[in-house]
Amino acid sequence: MKQAIYGLVLYVFLMLPPVANLAESVMTIHMHMQMPLFVIAGMLMTPYLKQRFPTFFAKWNRNGVPGIILFMIIIMYWMLPRTMDEALTIYAIEIFKFISLPFLAGVPLRDSWIKLGKMGKNIIFVTLSLLCGFMGILYIFSPEQLCNNYLIVEQITLGWAFLFLALSIIIYFIQQFFVDKTEYE
């Protein structure tokens, strides 16, 4: 219950116009801080939602696959250069961002993750790192300005942040093959 309140506070805080404007003024913060924080807000609210609607999650997201696909779809959608621009210029898209990231990405991610097997998790790690790597290369080496609302310098910075993220996921992915978790539990 405490977690849900923290999640709700974070969620409301992120949506405050001055906070949202500040976060969106820098491209990298928009993509790599504001958006993930919305997902985290959703994740924090998940236990409460599962308590309220236990049958819904058990019934429709039994093995975690529908949820994780939904998560991937939503984050891929927000990786498109166009959606970043439109979140700034079209109000409805901004609202969709506020709703989709916590509730269609954060909530299903947390619900699905514990249900997924090792194989499923590994597939997600590999897909995510490939995706981030691809986006990084796209944003760094694109000769064009991909977003009308951001400078090219910011675009390149964002690209490097993507590569860094991809690398971090890969390192995490690899380390689990060498670390025996049971030693720590």
Partner 1 sequence: MIKNKHNAVAIIVVLLFGVALFYVGTDGFQAYTAESARTAKLIDEKPSFPEVTLEDSQERMYPFSEFEGKYVMLTFIYTSCTDVCLQLEVNLAEVYDQIPEKYIGEDIVFLSVSFDPTRDTPEVLDKYRSYFESDGETWRMARIPDQQELDSLLDDFGVIVIPDGEGNFVHNSAFYLADREGKLIDVMDYTKIDEAAQKVTSILDAEAGE
* Sites of contact with partner 1 (CB under 8 A): 59-63, 65-66, 69-70, 73, 77, 80-83, 85-86, 89, 144-149, 151-152
| CA atoms within 13 A of residue 85's CA, in its CB half-sphere | 11
C-alpha 159/C-alpha 173 separation (Å) is: 21
> Rounded CA gap, 152 and 165, in Å?
20
We find the least distance from the C-beta atom of residue 156 to partner 1, in angstroms, to be 13
Min CB(65)–partner 1 separation in Å: 6
Q: Which is nearer to partner 1, 70 or 109 (CB)?
A: 70
Distance CA 109, CA 158 (A): 24
Collapsing DSSP states into helix, strand and coil, what is residue 40? Answer: helix
* 70's tokens: 């939904």
Cα separation of 126 and 13, whole Å?
Answer: 32
State the minimum distance, in angstroms, from the CB of residue 104 to partner 1: 9
Give the residue with the Cβ less far from partner 1, 11 or 96.
96
In the complex with partner 1, the residue whose CB is nearer, 52 or 82, is 82
Going from the C-alpha of 170 to that of each of 7, 126, 179, the distances in angstroms are: 28, 7, 15
Q: Which is nearer to partner 1, 33 or 152 (CB)?
A: 152
Shortest distance, position 134 Cβ to partner 1, whole Å: 13
- Residue 144 vs 183, nearer CB to partner 1: 144
Least distance between partner 1 and beta carbon 135 (Å): 12
Q: What is each CA distance from 98 to 3, 12, 90, in whole angstroms?
A: 19, 10, 13
